[in-house]
Amino acid sequence: MPEIKSDYRHAWWLPGRHLPSIWGKKGRIQPAVHDRIERWTTPDDDHLSIARMGVIRPGVPHLLVLHGLEGTVRSKYAQGLLAQAGKRGWSADLMLFRSCDDVLNEARRLYHSGDTTDVDFVVRRLIHQHPSLDLRIVGVSLGGNVTLKWLGEQGGRLPANVTCAAGVSVPYDLAAGSRHLERGLGPLYTAHFMKSLRAKALAKLERYPDLCDRDAAVRARTFWEFDGAVTGPVHGFTDALDYYTKSSSIQFIEDIRRPTLLISAADDPFLPSSVLEEVRKIAKGNEYLHLEFTSQGGHVGWTEGQPWSPRYYAEERVVSWLAGTPLRAT
């Protein structure tokens, strides 16, 4: 397990753990760089959408991005990753989880942190269409948990086309992250996500009235409550703890068999730093895992530079690492 000494230079104008986390969503300007969106029919006759940039070419890396909870094609960090790939002449795709493309999916389900069936479907379809594909994958937050879980599940059976991967601000232990967000300013983040999560659940109940407990879904104020009322029962788990236990990527990372960069900040408000120590212990036995844990950065934050010319370290760092090149000239 190589542990990388980070040269991240935290922006002086974003002190603490919350401002870096909020800035990337509320303050940042990031133009969209994808050129089209395709809707793909899934094996269970549902749909998901792919925001695509460029054309896949032989001998040129292709980047697949998985976004975080309630991410969309407008997620600035996702567009930032596509832009970094574009700067290198790569093509790239952003996989939009079911219901995250502004159109509610048709099936009796949504998406969740442990569901790896869709990323497996997308990867294998890409390889089928492009047998010589050189695929590099990055997952952010929830998408990072899905990515790492899938890589670990596949282990040595992973398609050879997948050459390397990265996970950014991954909530490795979902139960610990859920409880952590019940403290301090965590409920403010939770309330933000609950607006759209609850709306989707209620829309699903209009179509499938027996899907879950409507009253419990409406009452839910924490992730633990919502996942116990909606995510768990809708997707075949007995309760929130069962969902968290079976879906947390921390139990799968020891089986990853491709070079994978894990970049997290100790001050991530979505996860207690003690979880990163557990990841360190597990990663010691796996030479494929490359850890870059910073003291600052927040959740999908890592802003550098000045207020009038900010830079987004994690996006530059991840794509440069996936390309096998240094981030900064020495």
Integer-rounded Cα Rg, in Å, for the chain is 19
Active site residues: 141, 268, 299
**Do strands 162-168 and 135-140 pair parallel, antiparallel, or not at all (unpaired)?**
parallel
Cα separation, 205 vs 197, in Å, equals 12
Cα separation, 73 vs 313, in Å, equals 21
The DSSP 8-state label assigned to residue 266 in this structure reads: T
**Do strands 47-53 and 36-41 pair parallel, antiparallel, or not at all (unpaired)?**
antiparallel
Would you list the DSSP string of 215-258? HHHHH--SHHHHIIIIIHHHTT-SSHHHHHHHH-GGGTGGG--S
Residue 55 is encoded by which pair of tokens? Answer: 């054309």
Q: Which residues of 143-175 are buried (b: 16+ CB within 10 A; e: fewer)?
A: bbbbbbbbbbebeeebeebbbbbbbbbbbbbbb
- Exposed / middle / buried, residue 76 (Cβ in 10 Å: 0-12, 13-18, 19+): buried
